[in-house]
Every structure is written in structure tokens, then in C-alpha cells.
Structure 1
């Protein structure tokens, strides 16, 4: 029995699968994507964060993507191969004959719409036709998607990636500092009557006047100002295509403006009771923060229940106190 032990140890070693943690997989994904973006930048002179922003945008809106690897940009076949192309041959010369935009990005002579390097190189060449400034990029994206919100979202994602010089931006925060007294419950979908019958598209977090209100994610301020329902409010679009709506504010953080880049924990305003009337109306209800989230699908935008997110972010914030 003792003589067989080394053999059994060897068998056991090779029969146990090597376990890879979710963190390690995510690190590899981030590293490989960044390597692809940087290579595409070197080939096309288009800044890496434009590739990353467009890729993230399509990851947000696409249920299925052309590539099974790292890149989510999925170029329509009629664009890739050309509208009058009788076949879907991936030979780059054949595609060029029919004015398809598909390009060979890895030097194998093929323009494969499922290959990560070919996809990014093709997008880089598309953008290059319009120039290399931010305005040129906006024009290129408009001519690709023909949708204003898509242009705005992709441009803002690019700004966030550029500022923080990374695509790994997963931190979040709870919108109310935990040291203050506050309370909330799930009120999404409840009936509302002011201004006509409608549903409550958010969660109300009750707190005292002047309690700081914080950004919950990385993003860009898209909206600031008065609304007869929401009072003084701010809207922030994050890198995942979600629009975060903070309403009934008592006031804004000094200096915050539309176009500003924010990170989780940045103070953007304070709790109030504004709304339900002309500009400046306040006190028609107890002070609270109305917090809503909307998701852009690439064709439309819809409200969804923020309560599970708030509970998750609250738990995470308590762990890091």
C-alpha cells in the first residue's frame, strides 16, 4: 500500500481541476480588452478610450454579439460586407469590391466580423474617415448609429475612461451618507396623482433638509435644473447606459454643472422637498430624495426598480466604513 501512494498522489493531482476565481477572470478580461484597445490605437491613431466607449455601449445594449471573445461591437452584415455583396466571403479584397467597411486588422488577409482585432480595426478606419478630434468622433458615431442619445452616451463614456485612464470602474456608493438618519422602502410602481395618473418611477429616501446627496456610480452629469414634478434635480448617465435621477433636491453642490464627470461618493446636492409647482416651490411633502434609474436599450429608455440596487449599495457601503 505504501508503494502505491506516490502514484495515487499523481493521479489525484491531475484529476483535481484548477479553480480560477471570478476576480482573476475579470482581471484577465480587463487586461485583454485594454491590450486590444491599445493595439487598435497604435494602428489607427484613434484614442483607445473611443474604442472602449463604443465597445461598452454595445455591451450594454446587445444580448448577443458577433465575437465570442472580448469585444462586443457587432457591425451589421450589410455594413461589413457591402449592401450588394452576393456572398459573405471574409476575403478583404472581395469585401472592398462591394464597398463593405470590413477590414483585416491582424494581417491574415481576412476581414472576419467575429474577430476582435478585425472589428476594432474596422471601427478605427471608419472613425478615421471623419478625423481625430472629439467633434469628428461625434460625427462618425452619428453616421454609424443615427441616434442622438447613442452619440451622447458613447462620448460621455469615453470622457470617463479618459479621465480615470482605465475601464475597470466598478465601485459604487449609497446616495445618502450612512452617518445620517434616513429611511426608505420599495415604492417603485406606486400610484401618483400630481399632474395626472402615473406610477412612481423610483425609491424615496427620507432624510432631513440639507443631508448630502452623493453620486452612486462613475458617470457624467447630463441634466441639472427645475422640473415641476421633481423640483431641483440632477441626472447622471453611467458607463453601463443607466440614467440616475436625483430629485426634490434642496440645492446643488457648488460648481457642479452639466458635463461634469463624477465618481461614487462625490457630493452633488442635498436633500430637500422641492417640486409640484413652479420654480422654487418647496414644502408640499416631507424632505426626501427621489432616486430613479432608467436603462437605455439602444432604441428606447425605460424605468426600472432601483430598490435592489440601493440595498446592495447600502450593504457594500457599510462593509467599507
Structure 2
């Protein structure tokens, strides 16, 4: 899995289209925006990513958990979407195994000694031994031994199997390890001590926040939440394969680490093709009605079959380099009544 990074305030920067402008011009644009974001964060005293849920979040996250993430995030000054991402990766929102082979328990996968406190007698360097459930739930014991167990729903006990308790405890743990001070990656690493885990959690965390469209408005959802960098525009261009001039009937979206990242439907519609499409490689065609169609080419994975209806922002595949391609990118085409038109107008 490729590296992904989440930092506070990145959603505004993500609205910039990068099409090879000189580096100094990019800096002149980004630095003032960053200064404004920093000022706003300082004035609020929060500094927490409180972005709106993306369409992916709305489609994927059970609605009952959203207020819990938000309440826990507000209490511990931790981004709500980071908590959602941990919940997704750990147990798929409680639908996966809540007792791991390593001894972690509950929907957020706490080790018993982390929950109750490593100062507890049977935790002293030997692992999670002889801790009964009644002891594990006891708030006075957790307080005495410095554990991270939390009574999130105020029922008088801290139960790692209870989603509310577990999510509040995860927020407390992440905050204690630097998330409330902006050290997101460090906090996530402390949770699991795996770089692969960090990458996965941060990727979901980024996907769950609404990035907006490329220019801040428009009819379409941006099809690659990971990046808004455009490497080739619509119109005539040198063919990357042989250097000849050729018409490019869409836009190419790419950035370092984009391979395998999510591709989402730009608008609601019906998948009319999901499979191999010659030069486009693995591709998905979506019919949006009224003669409007979008095409997603060079995918590495097809996550929706032909014939299904999809929502705007729903994940449909992953970026790849299949077909006639020189490297990982998404080729995105918009057709109106069979004629290719410039996709950028749908993001303005």
C-alpha cells in the first residue's frame, strides 16, 4: 500500500489543480492559504479537522457511529475521521473479529493491559494475564493503574466491547500520543506499531473527509480523492507513447503514490461497462442519463460490476496503469451524446 498523509487543513490545499506551474508560483499560492488556515485554527483554539463527511464516508460508515466519533473527537481534540478510520481498519465497524489472535479485544482492538493500565500487577512485562472482565470494566482500577479505558456512555463501566466506550478510549489514547497536537502519524503508529497500518488508517481518514471539487463547486465529485493533480488536460497534446500530436479526450489525474488509490463515481448513475476496454485497460463506464456518460480508464481493480447503480462519491475501482499507459494514473473522460467534452467544466 502506498504512503498517505493527513494533516490539518489539507482540504483547502487539495482544491488546487496542479498542471505543471513553476514551483515558485505554486508556493505563492499555497503559502498564503496555509497562513489563513493556521490563523483560523489558532483563533478557534481547536485545530482539529472537522471537515464534513465525504460521500464515501456517508456510504460506508454506519450512521449510528458518526455522533460518537464527533463527540469523542471534540472531547479529546482528535479528528473525528481519524477515529472512523481506526474503527474501519480494526474491525470494519464492529463487523469483524473483535478478539484478535494477539489478545486485543473490542471494536477498537485494545490490549487488556492498555485498557486497564500496564501498572496492573499481572501486566508487568508478561503480557495480558489473569484479568477478569469485571476487573477490566472497573473504572476505579483503570484510574489506579493509568489505563486508557473510558466510560463513554456514562453507564458506570468502561467496556472495550461497547462501541461508545471503545471509541472514546481510542480518542484518549491517540490524544495522549500526540494527535491533539497535530502529530497524527506518530499517534497512529503508537496505536499499532506498523507502518503499513499507519498508511491504511491515514488513507481511510483522508477518504472520509469531503475534499470538495477541484475549484470549490460544480456538478461532479472529484474522481480521485487522493489527489487533484492533473498531469494532462483535455485537447491536443504530444502522445506520451510515440511523441506524435494526438487529441486527448479527457484528463489524466496522477501523483506520487497514486497506484491503488480509490476511484469514485463522479455522479450517480448506472454502470454500463466494467471490464477490459482496449487502450483504456480495465475501465468503468457510467451512464448518468440525458446522454451524459463518464469513463474511468487504466484501473488496477474494478470494484463494481456492470448493471449496478452507483452513488456520487461511491468507490468504483482503484487507480492503475492497465492498457495503453505509461504509468499509474486515472484517465477520466466525459461524453455528452457520444461526444467527448472537457471534464473540467463540471468542477467549476
- Structure (1 or 2) with the larger CA radius of gyration: 1
Question: What TM-score does the superposition give when structure 1 sets the normalisation length?
Answer: 0.45
